[in-house]
Structure 1
Amino acid sequence: MTRFAERARVVVVGGGFWGCSTLYHLAALGLTDCLLIEQGELAGQTTGQAAGMIGQLRTSAVASQGATYGVELLRRFEAEVGVPSPFREVGSVKVALTPGRVDELRRQVAGGQRLGLAVSLVSPEEAARLAPGLDPRRVRAAAFVASDGYVDPRATARGLARRAETLGAKVCATGIMDGLAVGRVAAELVAGRRPFLDIRSMDPGRFGRRYAGRAALRTACEAVYRNYYALRGGRV
């Protein structure tokens, strides 16, 4: 991990999953004159708090294709990235409890099948067998995707960043973005200097709204904290 890069063609702002993934894919494509800046530890903000569930049934084809690519990358993670895969391909059950959700789920299943995803509708009883604790009496429709699963978000992001570094990209985990200017980003690093760049990728996670405001931009979403509770013997 580097402390400072005098020049970089691409600066990636944010060391969460999306930032580390962007850095890795750029480096894997041969664009190694890249610098990722993160003000703290890699994957230390929203990525570290993510549940890590990967579901390929989405409301749009683009989102489904992106999730499917993610599963494919995680399957070859150890061979391609060089660290053990943090992915557990355990499958997932998606349920609909209302008539409106039934129609939506059927559309998602049909869309996934058109993209080649191995997904099928299953009975409420089969859904309860696959997901013990699920109450089949409440389920109006259910779908099963065998290739879904969950991942360790921190290990994934950090593995991608380490591989990007071995390919020649640079990571600075003591960098704070100072501001935005038209056509470029100014990033204040530990040495107080700024990297010159031609391209930038903004992946600041929960700080996205703050940085967008500096550029007179408005974002459509904002990160919030959630509470997770583990229940014993509960039924969904």
Structure 2
Amino acid sequence: MAGLPSTARVVIIGGGVVGTSSLYHLCKAGWTDCLLLEKNELTSGSTWHAAGNVPTFSSSWSLMNMQRYSTELYRGLAEAVDYPMNYHVTGSLRLAHTKERMQEFQRARGMGRYQGMDIDVVGLEEIKRRYPFIETHDLKGALYDPSDGDIDPAQLTQALAKG
């Protein structure tokens, strides 16, 4: 392993999206003595077959905050690092079949709105307006999130590595 430093402030093991994101953020924070190790090539672990979903919904404040941050980062990352990425912001409806799930959506809407997100709880008419072929007879409502989308995980990893 010629060429590897003998010491580093941080050693990250794994060159997938999590490892490269960690390194990207450390570098943005001004850390220079960092090393990322990958046994083959970037994305050769589980990242290459990840679905690439980019949701913002969560019942956890901290996870929702992290997911919100990610959507904001991904929107400008390709241009910021000059690396092309397929990132599609499609929006989503999460369907509720029970009163309890609607309560969970109301809570998530409150957390999301406080964090500056534009998520909303919608009724059956709005679900039907957005998706005319859906059957709503057993639904109570839905959570609409205009920021949900998908991204190519391999391209995201390469963009973070370049950045």
Superposition TM-score, scaled by structure 2 size: 0.88
Cα distance 1:127–1:13, how it changes in 2: closer, same or farther (>3 A)?
same
- Equivalent pairs, count: 162
Q: Secondary structure at the match of 2:121?
A: strand
In structure 2, what residue type is equivalent to 1:92?
Answer: S
Q: Tell me what 1:13 maps to.
A: 13
In structure 2, what residue type is equivalent to 1:38?
Answer: E
Cα distance 1:122–1:10, how it changes in 2: closer, same or farther (>3 A)?
same
Cα distance 1:24–1:142, how it changes in 2: closer, same or farther (>3 A)?
same
Q: Tell me what 2:38 maps to.
A: 38
Q: Tell me what 1:119 maps to.
A: 119
CA contact (8 A) 1:75 1:85 kept: no
Query: Highest Rg: 1 or 2?
Result: 1
Determine the C-alpha separation between the residues in 2 that align with 1:43 and 1:132: 39
Deviation of the 1:133 alpha carbon: 5.3
Q: Tell me what 2:49 maps to.
A: 49
CA contact (8 A) 2:84 2:155 kept: no
Determine the C-alpha separation between the residues in 1 that align with 2:129 and 2:2: 52
Which is richer in helix? Answer: 2
Deviation of the 1:134 alpha carbon: 3.5
Deviation of the 1:32 alpha carbon: 2.1
Q: Tell me what 2:97 maps to.
A: 97
Q: Secondary structure at the match of 1:135?
A: coil
Q: Secondary structure at the match of 2:68?
A: helix
What are the within-5 Å matches in structure 2 for residues 1-236 of structure 1? 4-7=3-6, 8-131=8-131, 134-163=134-163
Q: Identity across aligned pairs (percent)?
A: 34
Deviation of the 1:79 alpha carbon: 2.6
Determine the C-alpha separation between the residues in 2 that align with 1:130 and 1:11: 47
Determine the C-alpha separation between the residues in 2 that align with 1:48 and 1:84: 17
Deviations 1:146-199 (Å, cap 9, x if unpaired)?
122111111101211122xxxxxxxxxxxxxxxxxxxxxxxxxxxxxxxxxxxx
Determine the C-alpha separation between the residues in 2 that align with 1:149 and 1:5: 38
Deviation of the 1:45 alpha carbon: 2.3
CA-based RMSD = 2.0
In structure 2, what residue type is equivalent to 1:43?
Answer: T
Determine the C-alpha separation between the residues in 2 that align with 1:4 and 1:22: 22
CA contact (8 A) 2:64 2:112 kept: yes
Superposition TM-score, scaled by structure 1 size: 0.63
Deviation of the 1:4 alpha carbon: 4.0
Deviation of the 1:3 alpha carbon: 6.9
Q: Secondary structure at the match of 2:95?
A: strand
Cα distance 1:105–1:56, how it changes in 2: closer, same or farther (>3 A)?
same
Q: Secondary structure at the match of 2:41?
A: coil
Determine the C-alpha separation between the residues in 1 that align with 2:131 and 2:40: 38
Determine the C-alpha separation between the residues in 2 that align with 1:33 and 1:96: 48
CA contact (8 A) 1:93 1:131 kept: no
